Amino acid sequence: MLDIIYWPVSAILWFWHKAFGFVFGADSGLAWSLAIVFLVFTLRLVLYKPFVKQVRTTKQMQELQPQIKELQKKYKNDRETMAREMQKLQKEHGFNPLMGCLPVLVQVPVFLGLFHVLRSFNRTGSGFGQLDMSAYDNAHTANYIFSAADVQSFLSARIFGAPIAAFITAPQSEMEAFADWGGTPTRLTIALVAIPLMVIAGLATHFNARASVQRQTPEAAANPQAAIMNKLSLWVFPLGVMVGGPFLMIGILIYWVANNIWTYGQQHLVFGRMDKEAEEKKAKKLELRAQNAPKPGAKPVDVRKKQDAPAEDTQSTNGTAASNGTAKQTAKQGGGKRRPGGQQRPGNRGRANQKRKR
């Protein structure tokens, strides 16, 4: 059912094993370990852009927290309207909640695929999902893209004496699968390799979570759901690696350590770039404010007066023109002369006097 995942995962692992096996030898534990590490790097490189989008989405979500709280408070009794307004707010800001989960959702099937492929190198167990093969049949049966020779190479590979496919709590019957390919390992030998990997994986998980939590705003950290997730990522998940480590193959623990190392470096790179972008935006705002500010010693110019001045000039000009027109009209009607007191003489006064004289 999940062959669509198992075959690509085994193909990538096969490619890197051939590459490192050419340098260190096909049966080398280092070659197989590096193949697992670079399987992780290949996947995370493909998911780099979605990871950046995830970080930006998380930051945007934190910035929208005040508005989201207002909507929740405003429509606390109307969930339908609140959901509609939330979608509207997300659409206005180009916010997509699914982008925050995409990298994690993609890594889960790859983790399960790698777990299945590595466990299928030793199919002698009789538990759930096992085939209960004999040691001979297991060593001479292909494993997805890996040939029978590749299976025997994997069974022969050792890291400080411990097989990559072994785990601390493995039944003794599964241990016998390695007998003809480097000898049966002891639990102590497996534990000496697995326990340090468990500790490193748990610490790496904790510090990666701490780096993410420290970048949260106080408003986002105060959110009850965010507070629960922070506690889970800081303490429960790392503790889960420590508790579940004895049941995980050494190859899976290598995968976990490599994945956390990549996450730590990627977070440092992406967060540093985002901080640089924020500083550049802040510098541009300050530069624009400095350009618009008046020079030292110069009198500030009120822009509103400049805008009102043409209207006032037009009104005064119109008023002058109107008064001039009135004066001309009065002069035409007769008169226009004024007495010393400023009063205007009647226009027909001279004509009346001339008639009397006659």
pLDDT digits (tens, 9 = 90+) for 236-246: 989 998 899 99
DSSP one-letter code for 232 = I
Q: Rounded mean pLDDT of 171-183?
A: 88
pLDDT of residue 190: 94
Which of 114, 200, 215 lies closest to 165, judged by CA? 114
Report the range of poorest mean pLDDT among 42-51, 84-93, 335-344: 335-344
Q: Which one of 32-36, 131-135, 240-244, 269-273 scores highest in mean pLDDT?
A: 32-36
Higher pLDDT, 196 or 58: 196
Banded model confidence at residue 330, pLDDT cuts 50, 70, 90: very low
Annotate 296-337 with three-state secondary structure.
CCCCCCCHHHHHHHHHHHHHHHHHHHHHHHHHHHHHHHCCCC
Helices 48-63 + 102-119 axis angle, to 10:
140
Question: What is the C-alpha separation between 16 and 32, in angstroms, rounded?
Answer: 8
Least confident of 99-103, 118-122, 230-234, 315-319: 315-319
Q: How confident is the model at residue 349 (pLDDT cuts 50, 70, 90)?
A: low
Res. 87 pLDDT band, cuts 50 70 90: confident
> Can you tell me the distance from the alpha carbon of 18 to that of 31, in angstroms, rounded to the nearest whole number?
8
Q: Which of 104, 106, 128 lies closest to 247, judged by CA?
A: 128
Q: Which residues contact 334 (CB under 8 A, 6 or more apart)?
A: 347, 348
pTM of the prediction? 0.72
Cβ–Cβ under 8 Å, residues 46 and 262? no
- Tokens 């986002």 locate to 220
How far, in Å, are 2, 4, 81, 197 from residue 260 at the CA level?
A: 25, 25, 41, 12
Is 352 in a helix, a strand, or coil? helix
How far apart CA 165 and CA 135 sit, in angstroms, is: 14
Q: pLDDT digits over 247-304, tens only?
A: 999 999 999 999 999 988 888 888 888 778 778 888 888 888 877 776 666 665 555 5
Task: Give CA–CA dist 331/78, Å, rounded.
Answer: 78
